[in-house]
Structure 1
């Protein structure tokens, strides 16, 4: 099974750090954020990785290379212009193949075990949901008996973690260009084709300087 790390974001809320450094290469405890993902994916048995990039993307390629020093093989999907999550994944599908693949946002920090997603996929996607963080209290989706629903009217919404198992068939009929992933997921939810799980371990969306500091504090406590 292949895995894709989404690394095309500009990280505008983390300026000035991201003016000259792409967000995935911002360091926490001396290690680039994306390196934590690569090591965790490698230890979970994912050896074929695809990474998309846009803003300062050449720096990502220069730092990670072909992935051999991490024990993986890395292919890159370079985006001339930002394609958003859906468009970025769609552009990378030729590199990902015809089978379900793992996808993870490059700017989250987590101790989720990616090995959990090395499983058959019955529908079009399997999402990892987390408790709502302080900056996203309304949540995204609800989880009912292992199936994910659009949670707009639900009092018990959870937040999409940015970690999922996706089928290429989710993108059937899509056209090249920029588009979001969420509408595709919601349409498939309406057809009962999205399963999910609730993860209650460490998960931080590293979108601000404050949350980067949270990651550093977490790492300091663990070491």
Structure 2
């Protein structure tokens, strides 16, 4: 997003001052907010022209001439969704607000269309057996099961491509030819795809040891091939870059309600009771950013799961950070999850 802080004004700002801010900010928009940063309205070139044509006084508060019901984007929207809204409504700017209506950013059409290519490699883990989805996976690898009209793995690939990624590695094991034949070298999507094959299952982290070490020059975004999410991968990489660590683990908040009343006690005495309390935990979301150094530490054909790899790194004194995922996220691991994906995912990405 562009730096939008320079175009913030209060509702009592004069139209004359707002025009000066509009010219200086060079974003062709002024954002009118209250003291809590709640978006009250916007002022664009068109609003100014209409006010001047109506012979409005330049001393008039901007609140009297602003658009007080501007179109906005929500902070959890994907880049594609924001771009679609802007193109459909012929907008050059779109304020971004949180669930409380507070301003958190500003997207511009120019900025969205000119985002740079991301050179970080993406490693998609697609070798699992999908035993919990049998009989669907007897003759089809789980990442190739279709949600709507496309395989899960294609939806994942396209979400990364839309964000600017172009270097992909895919690990295979179970029915690998179906994956290789479908995706090929990635030319159909305008990207590069290379494959590594696990002769024997190596765990969720072991396939890192099969990657060509000479090509691991940047942090690697690593993701299970059975996940559907609208996660902002750019924000994930930005977070990792701003918080130096050997790895960043994406986490998801999970709630569990105890179905009984929980008793607090001390010795033989009851000190309190809580009826059906809700416990909250962060769970592993199956998406990581892994430093080249950590990836290179995994030996070829070494069997290791990602949690173990990260625990060993922390035991050595290395830092591992976590990145909470608030966007849509679904692990398509069981039959009811697969059905949920059919019902939900298309609506989430539209």
- TM normalised by structure 1 equals 0.83
Name the CA distance, whole Å, in 2 between partners of 1:50 and 1:160: 22
Q: Deviations over 1:26-77 (max 9, x none)?
A: 0111210001111111111110000000000111000011111112110000
1:197-212 matches, cutoff 5 A: 197-212=323-338
Question: Which 5+ residue runs of structure 1 have no aligned equivalent?
Answer: 135-154
**Structure 1 residue 158 and structure 2 residue 277: aligned?**
no
1:99-178 matches, cutoff 5 A: 99-119=218-238, 120=241, 122-132=244-254, 156-171=280-295, 173-176=297-300, 177-178=302-303
Q: Where does residue 70 of structure 1 map in the other structure?
A: 189
Name the CA distance, whole Å, in 2 between partners of 1:220 and 1:166: 29
Alpha carbons 1:171, 1:184 under 8 Å: kept: no
Which range is displaced more, 207-216 or 180-189?
A: 180-189
**Structure 1 residue 184 and structure 2 residue 309: aligned?**
yes
Q: Give the 3-state SS of the residue equivalent to 2:254 in structure 1.
A: coil
Q: Deviations over 1:119-156 (max 9, x none)?
A: 3261100111112277xxxxxxxxxxxxxxxxxxxx75
Alpha carbons 1:93, 1:168 under 8 Å: kept: no
Name the CA distance, whole Å, in 2 between partners of 1:213 and 1:40: 21
- TM normalised by structure 2 equals 0.54
Alpha carbons 2:130, 2:137 under 8 Å: kept: yes
Q: Where does residue 57 of structure 1 map in the other structure?
A: 176
Name the CA distance, whole Å, in 2 between partners of 1:58 and 1:14: 20
What is the deviation of 1:162?
0.9
Name the CA distance, whole Å, in 2 between partners of 1:166 and 1:107: 19
Which range is displaced more, 118-127 or 43-52?
A: 118-127
Q: Give the 3-state SS of the residue equivalent to 2:185 in structure 1.
A: coil
Q: Give aligned pairs, total.
A: 203
Query: Greater relative contact order: 1 or 2 (C-alpha under 8 angstroms, separation 6 or more)?
Result: 1
Alpha carbons 2:310, 2:320 under 8 Å: kept: yes
Question: Which 5+ residue runs of structure 2 have no aligned equivalent?
Answer: 1-119, 257-278
Q: Deviations over 1:85-141 (max 9, x none)?
A: 11112212537513211001101111111122333261100111112277xxxxxxx
Alpha carbons 1:4, 1:102 under 8 Å: kept: yes
Alpha carbons 2:184, 2:193 under 8 Å: kept: yes
Name the CA distance, whole Å, in 2 between partners of 1:65 and 1:95: 22
Q: Give the 3-state SS of the residue equivalent to 1:17 in structure 2.
A: coil
Q: Where does residue 144 of structure 1 map in the other structure?
A: none
Q: Which has the larger radius of gyration?
A: 2
